[in-house]
Structure 1
Amino acid sequence: MTKILKIAELGDPVLRSPADKVCDVHTPAVQTLIDQLISLTLERNGVGIAAPQVSHSLQLFIVASRPNLRYLHAPKMDPTAMINPQILHYSDAVTAGWEGCLSVPGMRGLVKRSKEIEVSYTDRYGQQQQQIFTDFVARIIQHEYDHINGKVFLDRIDSVLDVMSEAEYHARIVCG
């Protein structure tokens, strides 16, 4: 039987520690973790999740953008595992967007991120990939990349005035 993953919340030290490299993507433990992270992302209406968010200090995250209750206008893409990723280039063009996080429940923050990034990573099959991502998907990757480096989106806000409750976000931003 597969262990049910519990999401680490703000205050848990695992969220503030840089994660370790994944040595072998082919191990059953890593492949099971990838499957569990994909399932958890879909179940919790997330668009991404990093291994440290479930108390696994590994450089591994899932990007699974799709429209859902938390991100109504997210573009659709197949869930993608990014292992030992490196952001090779950040565009100078930056945009602010409201971010939430499964590890920071009930809150949103206005975060500035590069509109375009170039990323190198290993996929779940052990193949090296290098891609350019833009807009919302680039935002997701930067958010998850922060998690494997011991940061959360609250570290990126300019002011406490750029934080609001999830309920207020939906009332003012989504429905407003």
Structure 2
Amino acid sequence: MAVRPIVTVGHPVLRERAREVTAAELASADLQRLIDDLIDTMRAAGGAGLAANQIAETVRIAVAEVRPNHPRYPYKPEIPLTVMVNPVIEPVGPETTWINEGCLSVPDLRGTLDRFLTVRVRYLDRDGAVHEEIQRGLSAGTFQHEVDHLNGILFLDRADPRTLTTWEHWNRYQRDAFLRHVAEIESP
């Protein structure tokens, strides 16, 4: 297990579509170590998720986790540690919502984009067990963000360029409006 360097925007690996993982690969010690590295790197960087492309590995594996009072995203609902192998996402209905996102591969920049409000996520866990979940609101956005990475897409590709801002300016000028929006989309 190790904390690995996170590649940043401009690195070509972030624009590659990651390849599917076979059952034999998933069972290998090398891939299990990679999963541990993804988890360690995500936690060390304070992220809510991390895709393999972000540590220069082009396999379809991503992790997500939001603990209560997350230091970087205290407003996000909790997501238990989730290891997604070969994830597939499909919208559950046409409804979208705007989300302001950041990315560990795009340091100190945030932007607003539309995401599906509710999605179905299918994936294998690190042991090869099949999972199917419905995610909604900011959690749905987190899963869409990570699967985008596996497809070579950055949030910058989907964001309205007029909304791009540094973390400092987002905290100062946009945070309160976003938190009001989060309260609306996260309420049952």
Q: Give yes or no for contact 2:2–2:40 (8 Å, CA) kept in 1.
A: no
The correspondence of residues 87-102 of structure 1 with structure 2, limited to 5 A, is 87-102=89-104
Q: Which amino acid aligns with 2:170?
A: Y
Select between 48-57 and 29-38 the one with higher mean Cα deviation. 29-38
The correspondence of residues 1-176 of structure 1 with structure 2, limited to 5 A, is 2-23=1-22, 24-66=25-67, 67-158=69-160, 160-174=161-175
Q: Which amino acid aligns with 2:169?
A: E
Q: Give runs of ≥4 in structure 1 deviating > 3 Å.
A: none
Identical counterparts, % of pairs: 33
Q: How many residues align?
A: 174
Closer/same/farther in 2, CA of residues 175 and 148 from structure 1, 3 Å limit: same
- Measured after TM superposition, the shift of residue 90 of structure 1 is 4.2
Distance (Å, rounded) in 2 between the aligned partners of 1:35 and 1:10: 23
Distance (Å, rounded) in 1 between the aligned partners of 2:3 and 2:39: 13
Structure 2, unpaired ranges of 5+: 178-188
Structure 1, unpaired ranges of 5+: none
Q: Give yes or no for contact 2:3–2:40 (8 Å, CA) kept in 1.
A: no
Q: Give yes or no for contact 2:20–2:59 (8 Å, CA) kept in 1.
A: yes
- Give a deviation string over 1:110-160, Cα, whole Å, max 9, x none: 0110010011111111011111111111100000000000010000013x2
- Measured after TM superposition, the shift of residue 76 of structure 1 is 1.6
Closer/same/farther in 2, CA of residues 70 and 4 from structure 1, 3 Å limit: closer
CA RMSD of aligned residues (A): 1.5
1:35 match: secondary structure? helix
